[in-house]
Amino acid sequence: MIRDITLGQYYQTESVLHRMDCRVKLVGTLVFIISLFVVENWWSYVLAALFLALCIRLSRVPFRFMVKGMKSIVFLMLFAAVFNLFLTPGTPVVSFWKLRITDAGIRMALQMAVRLTLLIIGSSLMTLTTTPNQLTNAIERLLKPLGFLIPVHEIAMMMSIALRFIPILMEETDKIMKAQMARGADFESGNLVKKVRSMVPLLVPLFISAFRRANDLAMAMEARCYHGGKGRTQMKPLVYGGRDYAAYGMMWAYLGLCIVMRIVL
C-alpha cells in the first residue's frame, strides 16, 4: 500500500543522469521550478516539457513508473484547478447559480495544472535518479558558505538519518501490524473512535522500537568517535567533471531561453 507511492523514491538503474554530480541535479531542479513560474505563454511550456522529456529520456526511468506515482496527487491538482476555474475574475464565459467561469479562469486553471504536472514530474525525476544520501550530501555542500550561520553538517546528517529510517519504520509497522493481526486485531472496521483505539497496539510498540533504534544508532556513532562536522572529510568527495559543467551550461541556456521568451513573446 505505502510502497505504491513512487514520489520521492529512488529508481535503481544506470544512466547519465544517475551518474551526474548530485549538486547539478539539485540546482537544475531548482532552476527548472523557477523557470516554470517565470514563463507565462504556451510556447514556453512546450519548451519546458521538451526539456523535461529530454531529461526523462536520459534518465532511463520508465515514464510509466513516474506516472504511477502521480496518481496520489491528482486530487490536489484537481482541487487547485477547480478553485482557479471558479474564483478568477474576468469576462464570464459560462455562469450558473452563483458560480461563473471566466476566460481568465480557464486560462489560470489550465496553466496551474500544467505547471503542477511539470513541477511534480521534474522534482520526482531528481529523487528517482538521486539517492537520499547523495541529496543530503549535495545540500550540505551547497549550503557550506552559510556554515557560520547554521550547523550545516548536523542538519544534513539529521536529514539523511531521517530519510534512512523511513523504510525501516515502514517495515517495522508492517511487522507489528501482522503480529497484532495474528492476535485477532482488526485495523479496518468500526467507527473513527474504534479505529483510533485499534491503533494503540500498533503505535506503542512502534514508538518503543523507534527509540530503541535511535539509541542503538547514537551508541554506534559515538563508538566510532563521531563528533559532528568539524574537521570531517569525505570518503568520496564531490568533484565536478566535464559532463557536469556541460549540464550546467545546458541548464543556464535553458533558463536564458525562458527569460528571453518571456520578454520577446
Which x/- pattern over 46-85 shows residues binding another protein (rule: CB under 8 A)? ----------------------------------------
CA proximity to 169, closest of 132, 134, 203, 145: 203
Q: Shortest distance, CB of residue 188 to another protein, whole angstroms?
A: 11
φ, ψ dihedrals at 102, nearest 5°: -105, 165
Angle at the Cα of 182 from the Cα atoms of 176 and 184, rounded to 5 degrees: 110
**Site of grid cell 543556464:** 252
Distance, in Å, from the CA atom of 32 to the CA atom of 38, rounded to the nearest integer, reads 10
In this complex, which beta carbon is closest to another protein, that of residue 50 or of residue 204?
204
Contacting residue, 53, 67, 74, 181, with another protein by CB under 8 A: 181
Q: Are 135 and 22 in contact (CB under 8 A)?
A: yes
Distance of alpha carbon 114 from alpha carbon 36, whole angstroms: 9
Contact 127, 65 (CB under 8 A): no
Q: Supply the minimum distance, in Å, between the C-beta of residue 122 and another protein.
A: 23
C-alpha span between 257 and 161 (Å, rounded): 39
Count of residues in contact with another protein, rule CB under 8 A: 18
Q: x/- binding map, residues 139-178, to another protein, per CB under 8 A?
A: ------------------------------------xx-x
Q: Which of 33, 114, 185, 259 binds another protein (CB under 8 A)?
A: 185
- Site mask for another protein (CB under 8 A), range 206-235, x = bound: --xx--------------------------
Binding site for another protein (CB under 8 A): 3, 175-176, 178-186, 200-201, 204-205, 208-209
